[in-house]
Amino acid sequence: MPKVFVYGTLRRGGKNHHLLNDSQCIFQQCFVEGKLYDSSSGYPVMKQNTSGQICGELYEVTEPQLAEIDRLEGYKENGSDNLFECKLLPVYNDKGAQYNAFVYVAGEAFNQVSELISSGDWLVYNYLKQSSLLYFAYGSCMDDERLKKASVDHHFKDVRGKGVLEGFEFQFSRNTDDGGKADLVENTRGKAEGKVYDIPYDAVDYLYEREGVRANSYRPAVVPVSIKGSVYQTLTFIGVSKSPEMAPTKLYGTEIIRGGEGYLSDDYLRKIREKIKFLSE
């Protein structure tokens, strides 16, 4: 069955995602090389470029579904006036594994489009236009004491409660000179817990700086998180590169456990404690 990489309105939560109903999602977070632009018509366009990355989702689809997507994208094989061109390109997951998939790239009609989406992520680009946001914290950002030390605790007063992210697992896979740091690693059998905050837009600059977004340590992502049985789109941060897990410092581990107490499940916190102990031995 053909594979398709989608980066705009076909993604989860997008207005055209219904065309992928019953399709197998292989990866929720994966990439192609290229640069993303706002078409100013309610959807993004991709231009091939080896100096950038575009975030999207990878699906396995049927031939009839592929034909429907062709129609949506204004593509016909050997067409002379295609809106988009369909190309077979390499797609990479967070661990660097490569898959080949069909990707719809900008046709000549978009030659003049120039509003670059610097994050390379259509979901993040649109989510950050909101005046208030939901933020899924799963590491030391759950710790009130650390937020107070940074004098930003006023941005994180409104806690919605425990959030559950399906399809990802918690790991200390961001290796630094100061020990392992918390990260989300995609795993279809995984489930990560965290605290969900309702934050103002003013908190975003702090989070970008703290997570090292501009230093390419973590990247922003919008993920579906379940809160008391209802699913919400939330902002979170995922490590750009993955490494074998490394033990965190004692302080960092304490911040995670302390921040999660009273919100995360006892079993989940127990597993984090066991992970820290195992990695420290």
Report the 10 Å Cβ neighbour count for 189: 7
Q: Give the separation between CA 137 and CA 143, rounded to whole angstroms.
A: 9
In the block, tokens 């204004």 appear at 74
Q: Give the separation between CA 19 and CA 21, rounded to whole angstroms.
A: 6
How far apart, in Å, are the Cα atoms of 220 and each of 2, 208, 245, 257, 276?
A: 29, 8, 21, 23, 25
Can 211 be counted among the known catalytic residues? Answer: yes
What burial letters (b/e) apply to 215-243, b meaning 16+ CB within 10 Å? Answer: eebbbbbbbbbebeeeeebbbbbbbbebe
Catalytic residue, chosen from 211, 245, 274, 281, is 211
Helix (H, G, I), strand (E, B) or coil at 11: coil
Point out the residues that are catalytic.
Answer: 211
